[in-house]
Amino acid sequence: MSLSLRDQLLKAGLVSEKQARQAERDAHQRNRPKGGKASPPPAPAPAREAQARKAARDQALNRAQQEKAAARAATAQLRQLIEQHRVPRVESDDWYNFVHAGKVRRLPVTPALRAQLVRGALVVVVCEGRYDCVPPEAATRIAERDPAAIVPLPAAATAAEPPRDDDPYKDYVVPDDLVW
């Protein structure tokens, strides 16, 4: 039986056990590829296509999440603007009725608040289903962020819409401060 070179050198006493182990370690390090890990073999075509589809899907999900975050931020800004500039709510049995989204809505008001709403000194805004009154300066800033948050007043709606010729009540003027 033939002995390995290492064993022969050890038997002859030319090297010690420690030197033999060191030589083996050095040989292993010389045989390893340089530059860190070897590059992985190229992926097959179906795997590359799957990776590309996954990357596209991930980008779409990220975009959707960013849009949701932007919408939440815009809603938070809108809510903050309304909170800062709204007229304090009053406890009253007198109501200001207005139409929004095809339904009649109402706000408790005092006679002074009603007069301001009719004059246009206050504007009705909506955020998350809650209606508040704000000054026109704040309403312009709110409209920049979300035009749908401003509730159009009935006087503005009737002024923009000319009366029809077949309307039997076109000659009768409805007062702005009419309480329904």
State which residues form the domain around 101.
84-160
What does DSSP assign to residue 49? H
Evaluate if pTM is beyond 0.75: no
The per-residue pLDDT for 55 is 94
Along the chain (180 residues), what's the average pLDDT of each consecutive run of 10 residues?
78 87 86 68 80 94 95 90 90 88 90 89 90 92 89 60 77 74
Give the C-alpha separation, 10 to 16, whole Å: 6
Q: Give me the helix-helix angle, 136-145 and 45-85, nearest 10°.
A: 180
Is 150 contained in some domain?
yes
Number of compact structural domains in the chain: 1
The per-residue pLDDT for 157 is 43
The per-residue pLDDT for 92 is 86
Is 6 contained in some domain?
no
Determine contact, residues 138/145, Cβ cutoff 8 Å: no
Is 43 contained in some domain?
no
Is 125 contained in some domain?
yes
DSSP line for 111-175: HHHHHHHHHTSSEEEEETTEEEEE-HHHHHHHHHH-GGGBPPPHHHHHHHSPPPTT-TTTTSPPP
Is 7 contained in some domain?
no
Is 127 contained in some domain?
yes
Q: How many CB atoms lie within 10 A of CB 142?
A: 22
Is 178 contained in some domain?
no
Is 1 contained in some domain?
no
Burial of 52 (0-12, 13-18, 19+ CB in 10 A): exposed
